[in-house]
């Protein structure tokens, strides 16, 4: 007898894929197409200005706005540092000075208001490759460097949010519960593994402190709605983003992250990962130098951008056979994984009164009998 | 040809059914979060079936709300129509008939059709003290309603 079951891959090891690294601001991009890169190589310099501050110079010196500029101790366009004298006006009672409250550049002076505009010094940051790979494309306009690399792909059942990257932090065991108290400032800019359930308040706190992403076993449906555009299950091509990317590996409610996925995540603690919430996908770039061999020998199509947007693997059907690994997707054994050790040839009556075919799954700790339709091949 | 196993509920927009409406059919009420999570998992895995009596009660509660929103699909001219995809997936034939009766509440006897095949009949109680009588595939069932 042929027994069909749904097949949903959860881990796709060692795929050759593309990742995109953004170099914000207006610094130089230092790599070229076809250049090999190591994780510590610098792709470019990110030079970004962080705003400006307006200082009431004329008022502070007690002069008219049109005269203020002549008391400036440095010319416009020059850098000044915190504590440095910006303006100095001699008077009969001594000297009246104005001290710079911060580092910056004297940008302009307004003779009508007497205000001096001080722009903050630009922030310079090196953007690292963070992966072993080969530069596939340099997009000067969008300031992106697209790198061909080897990665392990983790596929969730739900997700939301745009592509974000950062270092992974295992915040909790695979069945832990994450509330807002556990979301602390040191998690800023990281992608966190939040155990078997995360609450809405924790997600809000994570957005507030700029956590980049969350990987979790389960989430309550009402909480998921609040960050996924008001829907329970996101429709294809419907992208949402609330300032945080999320993938859920098991389903709605509280479920430990599957052992298969958690054991892979544990190897990536404090390593660079890429989370694409809207496509329910987490990429774990290889940190093995030997991966360059496969990267070099695997060709990808020319049109790199299209690969970045290609759909993830959708569930499909296949013949269920003894020896296959399955995951239970309905109560009472939801999210339990194991190997199929037998498939019944005759239907059995369930406690619900329904008549159906059962199979026996051997998990790490026990053997369970479940309806064939309540498992998926993984 | 379908690319994945699916189920009756996959063809419906279950997201439009408020969990409060489903919970109203359940005694004891397992709580809105539980009901909404169950409904949401049904969207992810529509081919699954109820293992326990508790899960069956939720599946039938969802079905009652589906019937309430689409009565014409399930009853016309003195006939209950049970889509073949429901039998032994959402509930047994008596379970399904009872769910249809709870929502559609016919005052006169109706025939039960599984797809286009007549499989039995329902005789509604004429007074509150009487039993609802369902006859399916030659078996008779009586329920207090």
Are B63 and B7 in a shared domain?
A: yes
Are B136 and B90 in a shared domain?
A: yes
With beta carbons less than 8 A apart as the criterion, state whether B64 and A343 touch: no
pLDDT tier, B7 (very low <50, low <70, confident <90, very high otherwise): confident
Query: Strands A375-377 and A4-7, how do they pair?
Result: parallel
Tens of pLDDT, residue by residue over B19-54, are 999 999 998 889 999 999 999 999 899 899 999 999
Q: Which residue from A minimizes the CA distance to B45?
A: A329
Q: CB–CB of A251 and B41 under 8 A?
A: yes
Are B57 and B102 in a shared domain?
A: no
Are B50 and B11 in a shared domain?
A: yes
Query: Which phi and psi (to 5°) does residue B7 adopt?
Result: -155, 175
Where are chain A's structural domains? 11-44+132-308, 52-119, 320-377
Are B64 and B106 in a shared domain?
A: no
Q: Does domain A11-44+132-308 have CATH number 3.50.30.10?
A: yes
Are B128 and B82 in a shared domain?
A: yes
Query: How confident is the prediction for chain A on average, in pLDDT?
Result: 90
Residue A318 at interface with chain B, using a CB cutoff of 8 Å: no
Task: Out of B36, B69, B102, pick the residue that ends a domain.
Answer: B69
pLDDT tier, A309 (very low <50, low <70, confident <90, very high otherwise): low
- A320-377 matches A52-119 in CATH topology: no
Are B77 and B65 in a shared domain?
A: no
Specify the fold of A320-377: SH3 type barrels. (2.30.30)
Residue B20 at interface with chain A, using a CB cutoff of 8 Å: no
Number of independent structural domains in chain B:
2
Our CA angle for A322, A328, A333, nearest 5°, is: 120
Are B139 and B76 in a shared domain?
A: yes
Q: Partners of B139 in the beta sheet?
A: B136
Tens of pLDDT, residue by residue over A236-262, are 546 778 889 999 999 999 999 999 999
Tens of pLDDT, residue by residue over B90-110, are 888 999 999 999 999 999 999
Cβ neighbours of A315 in B, within 8 Å: 4
Range of the domain at B35: 1-69
Task: Out of B38, B69, B100, pick the residue that ends a domain.
Answer: B69
Pick the CATH number of A52-119 from 2.60.40, 1.10.3470, 2.40.50, 1.10.10: 2.40.50
**Residue burial A207-239, b: 16+ Cβ < 10 Å; e: rest:** eeeebbbbbbbbbbbbbbbebbeeebbbeeeee
Q: Exposed, middle or buried, A145 (CB in 10 Å: 0-12/13-18/19+)?
A: buried
pLDDT at A350 over 60: yes
Are B62 and B76 in a shared domain?
A: no
Closest CA to B40 of A5, A254, A253, A50: A253
Are B76 and B145 in a shared domain?
A: yes
Q: List all residues of chain B from 32 to 91 with a beta carbon under 8 Å from chain A.
A: 33-34, 36-41, 43-45, 47-53, 55-56, 88-89, 91
Task: Out of B20, B54, B69, pick the residue that ends a domain.
Answer: B69
Our CA angle for A356, A362, A366, nearest 5°, is: 105
Tokens of B30: 């397992």
Are B44 and B92 in a shared domain?
A: no
Please tell me the predicted confidence (pLDDT) of residue A235.
Answer: 57
pLDDT at B138 over 90: no
Q: CB–CB of B40 and A5 under 8 A?
A: no
Instruction: Point out the residue among B3, B40, B49 whose CB comes nearest to the CB of A373.
Output: B49
Are B89 and B138 in a shared domain?
A: yes
Average pLDDT over residues B129-134: 89
- Read off the pTM: 0.82
Q: CB–CB of A374 and B48 under 8 A?
A: yes
- For this complex, say whether ipTM is above 0.85: yes
Percent of chain B with pLDDT over 90: 59
Tens of pLDDT, residue by residue over A72-105, are 998 898 888 888 898 998 877 788 888 988 888 8
């Amino acid at each position: 007898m042929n027994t069909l079951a749904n097949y949903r891959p959860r881990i796709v090891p060692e795929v050759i894929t593309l990742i995109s690294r953004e170099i914000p601001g207006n610094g130089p991009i230092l790599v070229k197409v076809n250049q090999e890169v190591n994780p510590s190589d610098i792709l470019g310099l990110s030079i970004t200005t962080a705003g400006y501050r307006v200082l009431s110079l004329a008022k502070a010196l007690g002069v008219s706005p049109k005269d203020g500029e002549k008391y400036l101790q440095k010319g416009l366009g020059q850098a000044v540092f915190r504590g440095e004298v910006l303006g100095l006006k001699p008077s009969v009672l001594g000297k009246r000075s104005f001290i710079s409250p911060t580092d910056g550049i004297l940008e302009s002076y307004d003779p009508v208001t007497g205000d001096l505009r001080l722009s903050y010094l630009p922030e310079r940051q090196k953007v690292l490759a963070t992966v072993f790979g080969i530069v596939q494309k340099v997009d000067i306009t969008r300031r992106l460097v697209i790198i061909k690399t080897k990665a392990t792909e983790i596929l969730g059942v739900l997700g939301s949010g745009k592509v974000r990257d950062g270092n992974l932090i295992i915040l909790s065991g695979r069945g832990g519960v994450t509330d807002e108290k556990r979301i602390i400032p040191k998690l800023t800019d990281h992608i966190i593994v939040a155990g078997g359930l995360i609450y809405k308040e924790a997600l809000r706190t994570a957005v507030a402190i700029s956590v980049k992403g969350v990987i979790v076993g389960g989430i309550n449906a009402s909480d998921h709605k609040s960050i996924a555009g008001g829907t329970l299950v996101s429709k294809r091509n419907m992208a949402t983003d609330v300032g945080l990317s999320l993938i859920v590996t098991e389903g709605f409610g509280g479920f430990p992250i599957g052992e298969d996925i958690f054991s892979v995540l544990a190897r990536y603690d404090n390593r660079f990962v890429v989370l694409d919430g809207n496509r329910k996908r987490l990429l774990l770039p290889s940190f093995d130098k030997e991966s360059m061999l496969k990267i070099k020998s695997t060709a990808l199509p020319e049109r790199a951008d299209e690969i970045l947007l290609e759909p993830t693997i959708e569930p499909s059907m296949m013949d269920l056979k003894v020896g296959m690994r399955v995951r239970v997707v309905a109560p009472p054994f939801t999210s339990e994984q194991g190997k199929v050790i037998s498939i019944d040839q005759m239907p059995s009556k369930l406690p619900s009164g329904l008549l159906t075919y059962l199979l026996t799954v051997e998990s790490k700790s026990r053997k369970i009998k479940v309806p064939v339709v309540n498992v998926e091949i993984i | 040809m379908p690319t994945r196993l699916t189920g009756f509920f996959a063809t419906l927009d279950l997201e439009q059914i408020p969990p409060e409406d489903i919970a109203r059919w359940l005694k004891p009420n397992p709580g809105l979060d539980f009901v909404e999570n169950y409904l949401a998992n049904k969207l992810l895995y529509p081919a699954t079936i109820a293992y326990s009596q508790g899960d069956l009660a939720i599946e039938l509660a969802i079905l009652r709300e589906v019937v309430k929103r689409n009565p014409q699909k399930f009853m016309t001219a003195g006939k209950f129509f049970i889509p073949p995809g429901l039998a032994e997936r959402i509930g047994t034939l008596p379970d399904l008939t009872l769910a249809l009766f709870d929502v559609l509440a016919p005052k006169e006897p109706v025939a039960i059709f599984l797809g286009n095949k007549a499989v039995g009949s329902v005789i509604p109680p004429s007074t509150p003290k009487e039993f609802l009588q369902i006859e399916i595939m030659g078996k008779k069932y009586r329920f207090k309603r």
